Structures are given as structure tokens and as C-alpha cells.
Amino acid sequence: MCGIVGYVGTRDAIPVLVEGLHRLEYRGYDSAGVAVVRRGKVVVTKAAGRVQELRDRLTKPTPSTIGIAHTRWATHGEPSDRNAHPHLDAEGRIAVVHNGIIENAKQLRARLGAAGVELVSETDTEAIAHLIAAELAAGAGSLEDAVRAALRQVEGTYGLVVLDRTRPDELVVARNGSPIVLGIGEGEMFVASDVAALVHHTQRVVFLDDGELATVRAGEYRTSTLEARRTSKEPTTVDMVADDYELGGHPDFMRKEMAEQPEAVERALRGRLDERFATAHLGGLGLDAMALRAVRRVKFLGCGSAYYAGQLGANLVEELARIPADAEPASEFRYRNPVVDPDTLYVAISQSGETLDTLAAVQELRRKGGRVIGAVNVVGSAVARECGSGVFLHAGPEVSVASTKAMTNMTVSFAMLALLLGRVRDLSAASGQRIVAGLRALPARIEEVLGDDAAIREVAKRHAGAKHMFFLGRVRGWPVAREGAQKLKEISYVHAEAYQSAELKHGPLALIDADMPSVVVVPDDELLSKNLGTIEQIKARGGPVIAVTNADLPEGLADDVIRVSRGEPELDPIVLTVALQLLAYHLAVELGRDVDKPRNLAKSVTVE
């Protein structure tokens, strides 16, 4: 959620820090700040609002070769200059930037206040700066030792970077539940909460694990545990480059990432489909045919769009493999004391691989002996490392807060998982070949939907005045409707509700009137007549209808029709979802919304 950038080297730190913050803007934030050491002093500049407002305040030259920076998403205290990071101790010696939530912050602040410390912000982070300063005053031998001692008093999650004005050649970083990555340059080192801030400078990175610290200097880094045990962390090379985070002629990242979906799906399929045996190869699962046959149930765990992708995946598994499957919000999983079945395959879904609720669900499963695989888009992420096996999405970097290409690649990956599970059971070779061909055709089908952009934009314009909208679907169309409502809510701020079509007459039908458009997902499948009946019920009560379909509807039945091509029925929801992405996008643009950075939201949710 929040963004962290740190630098130590030979260059002027502030341009590096601010450029890094700019690349992390997509994560969501409400204030920004930097701190550098200049002539033995920590110089801090902060601003509530966007990074550009911070940039506007940095008019006075402050050359320095070391510094830390932050974009804050408020958890403790309102967005303001005072609550923005970095935070200092009372003497201005220690500066700290922090992602996460300190759960015992109230107690720590009270203890510091009783000791005579004057706290100047409402944040949990400020307490960490004072704790570190106290440990140094008490004789801690190094900054790393002081940070370690302070963190032993802290309960909660953190990704943090610490700067000491008396040690202007080193940074100390630590991680527990919130990502921290080191970037290795030539005679310089970088720190960030996301590789997006690093790839402009280096592709060699080190991912810290939970409970791990690092001391970073221009030419070296040293890692250790919270218990002061040295660890060995070898750099890895990420396949992302700076151009992945550029608009490339598109008006915004959401539009760019929707346009990249055909290519992203091709990457997800590459080398994974087997026409000869009509199956899929997912070597990252680490499961042979015997282990796959032993799976008696599949449960998908994710948050937001990842959860809805899991629902689509559950439908695919039940249809193709005939194994009971369902999806559940990862945020609720560990709190209900779940029964963990050793014969169930759990699938943890996260675009970033750092979603805290999903990571906590994985840890709960591992603690109880569950078999869990990951479906993530970031190699080396926390969920990927915790699971140890799974499916890499190959969607490429996703910058816009609203997930499009990653969500699509999730469902494509689950279709391959369902095909694989089906073919080791009773799915016939002929049916397998049909699904393989259907998967091969997906990039072209998605390209066709994207080519209908102008028509969908006109539909959006006609309904841009709506204050509320229904999204309706049955069975295959139900998760599509839920994802469509999610997209509309998060980027347009229009209130949207998703319902199973059959539930409409059990209460929600009371809300239908001329000002309540209904978006009805109508796949050309065995439930077509049922879905047509739903539309008739809405029209009989004066409700406008937008049908999203690949079927031939009776003329005049719906007020607007968004058409997609026919394909294999099991895979049609993937293409229908792309059409709803475009509808939500154009409604949001028509309303003048910032589609890449919707209010109150963040790309990678690393707090509860």
C-alpha cells in the first residue's frame, strides 16, 4: 500500500528518491516525504497529497548521497504534513519510514509519553523512531543493534528503513509482513517496497524474508534475523525493465494493461498446453499424476478480484474435473478456525504476492498441514516463497490499482489447472482437445472485445448518469457479474451490486426502476432461456438493461447489447469479464475519475 524508497551511494539522493516515489504512486497514498543527511543534519520535507506537491516543495538544493522516502496510505491519523513520513526522534537524529501497522502503538506511545517524550504526530511509526533513539542512548553498539532491540518491543507488521545522521553511510531495513527489496547497483544500493522503484536502476535484487534485517551500504549489504543470526541472501535477477512502467502512448495504465491482455494470455499459455495428450503442463505445482488424483477438493483463496477469479476457477474445476471446489475470501479464512483437509488442494491467489490477508491464510494452512500452492504474478514475493510451488501468472507488471490483465491470467491459469485435474481423471481426450483449442483461441477473442471499444464507450456514455447499477448472472455468469460490479465501484465510485439472477425476485427486484440500470451477463449456454427470463422481469418493471452476451438475443429485448464472440462455454466467462472491464473503464472516464489511482484504495494491500 504505502511506498518506500531508500538510497545510499555517490549520486544526489533526492532525484533518485523522488523518481522512485513517482514509480510507486500506483500503490495508493495520501501524503509523501523524504529525509536526507546534509552537513550532519537530517533534512525532512513532507507534503500531504501527491508526489508532485512534494516535488514542488523541494526547491532548495539539499545535496546528499543517502536518503529515505515514503508515500503514506493513512492508518493512524489523518492525511497531513504532520502525519506524513519520515518520522524523527526528539533530537532529529533518527528518521524512519514504515509500511504496515504497529498493533501495540497505543501502549508504546503511552509509555514514551510517560517517559517525557513529546510525540508530534498521531502515527504508530513515530514511536519506532523514539524507541531506536532510546536504544542508542542506552548503549546499543550499532544502528542495526538498536533497530533490532526496538523491534523486539513492537507487535504488528512492518517494512521499514532507518536513517541515522551520525552514520551517513548506511541504512538499516527490516521486514515483517510488509515487503522490502534491496536493489544492487554499481557502487550504490537501493531499497524499496516494490521492484517498480528499482528497475530503472538495477535488475539485481534481494528479497527480505519476514523477521529479517539488513544493513545496507553503498558497496555491500549484510542480512540477519531478529535474533542476530546471520543469513545468506543471494541476489536474483528480475525480468522487469523500466519501460514496463511507462504508458507507451496510452492515456493511462488501466487502458494500457487491458490492451496487453491478448499478449499476456499468450505468455500464460506458452509451453503449457499439450495437444498430444489434450492436457496442460504446470510444472511449478510440484505434483505428479498420483498426487493430482489424490486431490478430493479444491479451495481458492483470494481478496477482491483475486477472489472472484477463484470463483471462476472453482466453476472450471467442478465442470472439467468433477471435483468439489469453492472459493473463499482469504481475509476471512484464518479467523473462522477453518477445518484443514489434507485431501484438499488450496490455491492462494495474489497479483502482488504480498497481500497480507492471503499470506496469513497461507501461513495458517501451512501451520495446520494443508497443501497450498500459489498463483502469483511476482517472482520472489512473500506468497510465492511461503507456498514454495504454484503457478506464475506471466501477466507482466500491473500498475493500475484495478486489476485487469492479472485477473484475466488468473482465470486462464485456473482453466489449465482444471484441465490438468480433469485429464488425470475422467475428462475425455476429445473434451480435453476442445478445451485446449478454446484456450488457444482466447487471445484472438479478447482482441475482438478490445476492438469493440468504441461501441462499449457509447453504451457507457448513455448510462453515465446512473447513481446505482445491478450486475446479474447465473452459474458461469455469477462471478463475472461480481467482478463487473467490483470494477465499476472501485474506479467510477458508482454504487453497484451483484446478484445471482435467480435471487432477483427474492428481494432486490424491489429496487428496479427507470433509474436503476441492470447489467445482465448472458452466456450462450444451457441457461440462456433463464437469463432471458430475468431480462423480461426487469423490463416489465421499467428497468434499463445492458446485456453482455455471446448469444443471439431477441430484437429489442435489451436497451443496450455488448457482444462478444462464441467459444467454448466453460471459457466464455473469461471473455465476458474483459467486456465488463471496458464498460467500467469508460463509465469512469466519462465521470472524470482517475482510473489508475481510485480514491481510498491501494494496489498491494499489505495491512489488515
Instruction: Please list the active-site residues.
Output: 2, 603
Burial level of 554, CB count in 10 A (0-12/13-18/19+)? exposed
For residues 62 and 84, give the distance between their C-alpha atoms in angstroms, rounded to a whole number: 20
Nearest to 17 by CA among 75, 56, 66, 82: 66
Residues 510, 513, 516, 522, Cα dihedral to 10°: 80
For residues 326 and 301, give the distance between their C-alpha atoms in angstroms, rounded to a whole number: 9
Q: Name the strand (E) or helix (H) holding 560.
A: strand 560-563
Q: Name the strand (E) or helix (H) holding 470.
A: strand 468-473
DSSP state of 571: T
Do residues 232 and 213 lie in contact, with contact meaning Cβ atoms separated by under 8 Å?
A: no
3-state secondary structure of 450: helix
Please name every residue paired with 95 in a beta bridge, in sequence order, or none if there are none.
Answer: 88, 163
Do residues 204 and 79 lie in contact, with contact meaning Cβ atoms separated by under 8 Å?
A: no
- CA 577: distance to chain centroid? 18
DSSP codes joined into one string, 161-223: EEEETT-TTEEEEEEEBS--EEEE-SS-EEEESSGGGTTTT-SEEEEPPTTEEEEEETTEEEE
Nearest to 132 by CA among 157, 106, 107, 165: 165
Q: In what side-by-side order are the strands of the sheet with 325-329?
A: 325-329, 297-302, 344-350, 371-376, 390-392
- Beta carbons within 8 Å of 419's beta carbon, 6+ residues apart: 279, 280, 320, 427, 432, 435, 436, 439
For residues 499 and 495, give the distance between their C-alpha atoms in angstroms, rounded to a whole number: 13
Do residues 151 and 113 lie in contact, with contact meaning Cβ atoms separated by under 8 Å?
A: no
Largest CA distance in the chain: 82
Neighbours of 10 (CB within 10 A): 11
For residues 28 and 25, give the distance between their C-alpha atoms in angstroms, rounded to a whole number: 6
